[in-house]
Structure 1
Amino acid sequence: MASVHKEFLVDATPEQVWDVLCDFGAVHERLAPGFVTDTRLDADTRIVTFANGTVVAERLVDLDPATKRIAYTAVGGSLHPSHHNASMQAVPTPDGKTRFVWHTDVLPDALAAPISEFVEHGAPVVRAALEAARSPQTAH
């Protein structure tokens, strides 16, 4: 099984990051605007449309406010993995900022390259959206 792991610092508190991250049905508006162009929610599954036309159905596995972690798995769409699960977590740093941890496991291994490319292109968009979502009293 291939794994894709990405971490980056976000100039926002874990609570501010979690407020965006836990909004499972609003990826296109809050977490990755522009990178994701549409999200439709159907019970515990979201249909995510990426800017490049890729469509993925992602089922919510866990939404944990205590650890500020969301986990989901791909259950359909245009990538056709035999296995795909991912998690995103807002981890506090000593200076009050957030270490954003994004981890994906995927089979077949051949999908690691396109998933890694998605993550590399999406990470700056996610970081910018999270920093833009800071409340006015904490913005610099």
Structure 2
Amino acid sequence: MASIRQEIQVAAPAEKIWDAVRDVGEIHRRLVPGFVTDCKLDGDARIVTFGNGMVAREVIVDLDDAARRAVWSASGGRLTHHNASLQVFAEDAAHSRLVWIADLLPHEMKPAIAGMIAEGLKAMKRTLENPGI
């Protein structure tokens, strides 16, 4: 199984970031606009349309407010397994670190998914550092 771990520093308080992350049906507006162009809730899942046209069904596995950690599992496309988490860590009152971890199969998809995660984290940084959200 391929594992990917990426992180990014964001100049925003952890509480503000977590509020956007845990709003799982609004990620296309509040967290990663452009990277995700649409998101619709469907029971315990969300249907996510990415900027590259890919569509995925992501089951929300857990939203842990104490740990500021969201976990989801995706299905569809060429992936036979995908489980991911995004966790928000407070660095100080005005800065945070976001850690995105994904485990997936087949192994050959690792470079493509790692690239998408990097894009997603950059979109989060742009959005979350904007005082308008």
Query: 2 CA distance for matches of 1:102 and 1:133?
Result: 23
* CA shift in 2, pair 1:24/1:54, >3 Å: same
**1:62 counterpart = 2:80:** no
TM-score (norm 2): 0.94
TM-score, normalising length: structure 1: 0.89
CA contact (8 A) 1:16 1:133 kept: no
- Flag the 1:55–1:133 CA change in 2: closer, same or farther, 3 A: farther
Identity fraction in percent: 42
Aligned to 1:126: 124
Which runs of 5 or more structure 2 residues have no equivalent in the other structure?
none
Q: Provide the C-alpha distance between the structure 2 equivalents of 1:60 and 1:53, rounded to a whole number of angstroms.
A: 21
**Would you say the 8 A contact 1:74–1:83 is kept in 2?**
yes
Paired amino acid for 1:31: L
Matched, 1:115 2:113: yes
Distance in 1, matches of 2:55 and 2:87, equals: 23
Amino acid at match of 1:86: A
Between 1:5-14 and 1:124-133, the stretch displaced more is 124-133
How much is the aligned-residue C-alpha RMSD, in angstroms? 1.4
Corresponding residue number in structure 1 for 2:43: 43
Q: Deviations over 1:36-78 (max 9, x none)?
A: 1100110111000011110010000000000000000013x3x
Alpha-carbon contact 1:28-1:36 (below 8 Å) kept: yes
Runs of 4+ in 1 over 2 A off after TM superposition: none
